[in-house]
Structure 1
Amino acid sequence: MSPSPLLLVLLLLLRLHPAPACDSSISNLSCFYNFNRSIRCEWTTNRTDACSMQAHNINPQNLSQFIPFNSNRCALEATDRPRLRRCTLHFHKKVWILSTDVLSLNLSCVHVPRCLGTKYRPEHHSNIKLDALDAPVVNGSRLSWKKPNILKSLVILQYQPQWTLQDRPWADGWDRVPREEHWAELQADSLVLGQKYRARVRVRVYVNVLSTWSDWSPALSWASAVGQEPRRGSEEAGLWLWPLFGVVFVLGLLLVSFWRSR
């Protein structure tokens, strides 16, 4: 279908009014495309004045790219981390990002006379980071999670689940090798009935090479309904044996000391 005259006029105006020129690249800026019409940017800076980001497509490959963003400007807000500011650019629902597209990201601050700029290619593998998944769910010994909401279906997704005992750090837990299935078997014989566990999962996408991992999902906490019976008898025996060994050891030391003093 041929473009309408109005759309052609808009294209011409965009060609006649390119994105404003800015100074050299922005240091300490990281932006990630979530494969779902959003780009989240994080900037580490000592600045405290009001700053904002704006995006322009400088080499669109199809007409839909000229449809404006829902919000092609976002304010960089403070976070709970010192010096870190963050904002998210949202695309119009009809915009389709292509692998060849390059954006111009411009950063402006109230007390800086000239903006800073950098070029950004959303679909470069190092710039892709999917949104964190929802917390997984467990059914018996099977851990599962929902697939991410992304625009492109013909991509390979890899997931990495992780689980551990409720009161243990994640570093002491079990990591599964990245997998394409959105579920994992926890092996019932390795679980203890009634024991409390927690689990989380993250995801990345394969675009020629692997992208950055997403943030971890919220953790699921549960008491296992399957697994081996807890060995309470042996545990209680162990609790009694250690004090007994201590008493025997002390008595042995006293006896040796007594005989040497004679």
Structure 2
Amino acid sequence: MATARSIIEKAGRLLAGPLLAFLLSGLVPCSPALAQDPGPIDAERPSFSSSPLALPAGFWQIEAGYEYTRTTGSNGSKEHTLPNALLRWGFHPRFELQFDWTGYSWMTASGKETNGFKDLSVGVKWQIQDGSAPFLAGLFAGVSLPVGDEELTSDNYDPELGFFWTYAGSLDWFGTAKLTESANKYKLENAIGISFSPAPNTSTYVEYKGSFPEGQGPAHDLNFALMHLLANDLQIDLNGTIGLNKRASDYTLGLGIAYRF
């Protein structure tokens, strides 16, 4: 039976050639002025799930926000994180480059304060098929860079693989599966959700997320958010999470913005 390590290694070998070729092709200048009208912004935040659609070639997108996380109990904690930034660049009609950085964390756990910068990650998303299909899928390959402060870094280059999908039917479904490795331990995270629009330029979703780290019990969360489109290239959001079991945080609250240029 294939192990998680062998799956990551095989997927890496499979994607390495195409990713390198398209990265090199992305070095050719591409201007947004030459791209087709991209339509309303398609942001990754604030859901755990990511969109399978790549950013249109020649465009950049910055997404950022604030998040507060609260956990009670004997090892209770409070954490504030900012700016939770994601920088995206569409360098090919179906490929985009991503730089993801949680930023600075202010955390108090069991009476101890831990403040500092977290690690950065870089990756590439591949939109598998044309964006007009009812079912859309995308793949992601990335790695974290150990640039965080001493108590907040993994001290390793941790790989990540992701599969993203959406289905537009009588209901709009979406989901994600991610596999990460850190310190020779693997974690599988998956999510599934439903999105809908209660008013013009306004959308919302409800999303279940499960986290299954190797050697530990699972954590289950319910995510939700309200997003509003201020302009075709500008979106704001309010979001939250409710923990569904003891291994999950009690709740999170956040707000953010996404801008395409």
Q: TM-score, normalised by structure 2?
A: 0.24
Larger Rg: 1
Greater helix fraction, Structure 1 or Structure 2:
1
Greater strand fraction, Structure 1 or Structure 2:
2
Q: TM-score, normalised by structure 1?
A: 0.24
